[in-house]
Amino acid sequence: MSFIHSERVRFGDLDAMRHLNNVVYLRYFESARIAFLRSLFPGHDPAHPESGDFGVIFAECHIAYRSPVHFDEVVDVGCSVGEVRRSAFQVRFEMKVAERLAAEGYGWLVGFDYAKQASTPLPERLKAALEAAWADSGIPSGRPPTIQAMFGVQLICSDERCDHVLETAVWTLDQADDLLCEGCDCLLQLVSVWESQEARARPRAAHLDLAA
């Protein structure tokens, strides 16, 4: 990973076993992620997100702990852009002490309009910078050519006043989290899913109702 942010482990960062506390790994990732995003777009200000015409919220995080970290060790946190979607993008991270892998994972950030208090598509200038960084990371894009779709999904609008329903196919279920209602631009809520190599061809009666 081309962007590296370093943290030296403080005594207060340790747990009762004298290892780096699991929660602090995420704090290190947070500091690295903010510095990384500022390197891509210098105007990024997470402390005052309402001051600009566009912001992001940190919506999801996954981490795998690989080895313990100890007092006074230097943790290098490498960051890169993963998948970029219409209104969300992924930041991947790797934490190392010298050559030893300590943790790895990723987080999702969603475009957010703080004035309207609603999710919003990424501005084109931001999306272009993210896609350029994604290309530089070497992380492959697109789905494998041998499979057309893995899941069929049915979604409804999160706004109870809207009766919009969408049925579509997605490669991974987390892609459904990024779909917006065509009627009111609110996020869609997943209510049913079914597995299929050709998800669009699967009979509707075969779905698993997640709302039950």
Instruction: For residue range 15-64, list pLDDT tens digits in order.
Output: 999 999 999 999 999 999 999 999 988 877 888 877 766 788 898 899 99
Residues 6+ apart with CB under 8 A from 148: 169, 197, 198, 199
Tokens 């690295």 sit on residue: 32
Domain ranges of the chain: 3-137, 151-209
Tens digits of per-residue pLDDT, 67-118? 999 999 999 999 999 989 888 999 999 999 999 999 999 999 998 888 888 8
Element (H, E) at 29: helix 22-40
In the CATH hierarchy, which top-level class contains the domain 3-137? alpha beta
Structure tokens given for 128 = 């272009």
Whole-number CA gyration radius for the chain:
20
